[in-house]
Amino acid sequence: MADLHSVYLGLRLRNPLIISSSGLTDQVSKIKKLEECGAGAVVLKSLFEEQILHEAGKMMDQTDYPGAEDYLKVYARNHSVSEYLRLIEDAKKETRIPVIASINCVSTSEWIDFARNIEQAGADALELNIFYLPLQTGKSSADYEAIYLDLASRVKETISIPLAVKLGQHFTHPAGMVEKLYHRGIKGVVLFNRFYEPDIDLEHMHFKAADVFSTPSELSHTLRWVGIISSLVEKIDVAASTGVHTSEGVLKMILAGAKAVMMCSAIYKNGPEYIRKVISEVNQWLDKNNIKRIEELRGRLSYGSLENPAAYERAQFMKYFSALH
């Protein structure tokens, strides 16, 4: 059996499979089950800034007391934060695998101090999940990137535990963005996030949420950028997320250069025991190919390792289809 030990954000993992931030990781009992089934680490369910503000808004709807708005915002924030810090503390007490906290935020207003509280609660690392919808037509893409970079820099200056930034799929220049994060001291990036996406219910003619689960078909987009960024920004740790549903997906991401691979939708659909199956199949494949350590596999087929790196580039797609006509 191969040695699956991996290092991500300076944390030693028994294997590179991390259960990403979701309802799978919002209770200690669930985290213990994930550990029992073989997870290398967990990212706790994010504390959402928008959710706190929404809860405060619901409370305000139930009162007409003058000046209640500020009080209720503070109450909702403190209540949510206290519960989250307790989850970190309890998870660290009752499990042995690394516990990575997660903040989902859209502003810098409250989250700098909260990041410090997360460190004090015992989290092994912090994943910063930023989403700022670019709606102002008078701003450039660089203006919006600056928001991400500023928030990441300010959090990094506040804590000493490793910090990773989880990015969405739609940056104009992903490799350039990651390099800027690296120069600000960010230890890792997660590629990619899945945000809320809208859909339209034609029968009832109203908006609704699109399917929240990823599909295996999304693997290719993640694979491309994991392979490219792990080569172009070598000193930052890249974790692969979105589209990983099988052991084959895990192995492909490692070959592309990922330091860790995150899985969520497949665990929702198949249950925590599915982790055992994935890890077992990874081991079988490594044994079959006489690979003793998974580190031997890492980056073998990254962008920088190929004689013809154009295989990662969009032009290759066009050449393929032009040859069919």
Q: What is the pLDDT of residues 170-185, one digit of tens each?
A: 898 999 999 999 999 9
CA 119 vs. chain centroid, Å, equals 18
List the one residue out of 20, 178, 167, 168 whose CA is nearest residue 101.
20
- Fold of the domain built from segment(s) 6-322: TIM Barrel (3.20.20)
More confident residue, 254 or 311: 254
* Confidence (pLDDT) at 106: 59
Q: Which helix (H) or strand (E) holds 180?
A: helix 174-183
Beta bridge partners of 292: none
List the one residue out of 40, 11, 258, 174 whose CA is nearest residue 249.
258
What residue ranges in the chain does DSSP mark as E strands? 6-8, 11-13, 17-19, 41-43, 47-48, 99-105, 125-130, 163-167, 188-191, 198-201, 206-209, 237-240, 260-263
Please give the average per-residue pLDDT across 84-113, as a whole number.
86
More confident residue, 104 or 157: 157
Q: Which amino acid is at 153?
A: S
- Predicted confidence band of residue 114 (pLDDT cuts 50, 70, 90): confident
* Confidence (pLDDT) at 152: 94
Q: Which amino acid is at 273?
A: E
Phi, psi of 126 (to 5 degrees): -130, 135
User: Could you report the per-residue pLDDT of 128-150, keeping only the tens digit for each?
Assistant: 988 777 888 999 999 989 989 99
List the one residue out of 233, 267, 229 whose CA is nearest residue 250.
267
Q: In this structure, are strands 198-201 and 206-209 parallel, antiparallel, or unpaired? A: antiparallel
pTM of the shown model: 0.87
* Confidence (pLDDT) at 18: 98
User: Could you report the per-residue pLDDT of 19-67, keeping only the tens digit for each?
Assistant: 999 999 999 999 999 999 999 999 999 876 444 444 434 433 444 434 4
- State yes or no: pLDDT of 109 exceeds 70: no
* Confidence (pLDDT) at 132: 77
Q: Which amino acid is at 249?
A: G
More confident residue, 300 or 209: 300
User: Could you report the per-residue pLDDT of 234-253, keeping only the tens digit for each?
Assistant: 999 999 999 999 999 999 99
* Average pLDDT in the chain: 86
CA 142 vs. chain centroid, Å, equals 23
User: Could you report the per-residue pLDDT of 284-321, keeping only the tens digit for each?
Assistant: 999 999 999 999 999 999 999 998 887 787 645 555 55
* Confidence (pLDDT) at 1: 87
User: Could you report the per-residue pLDDT of 57-95, keeping only the tens digit for each?
Assistant: 443 344 443 443 443 344 345 557 889 999 999 999 999
Q: In this structure, are strands 99-105 and 188-191 parallel, antiparallel, or unpaired? A: unpaired
* Confidence (pLDDT) at 209: 77
- Predicted confidence band of residue 194 (pLDDT cuts 50, 70, 90): confident
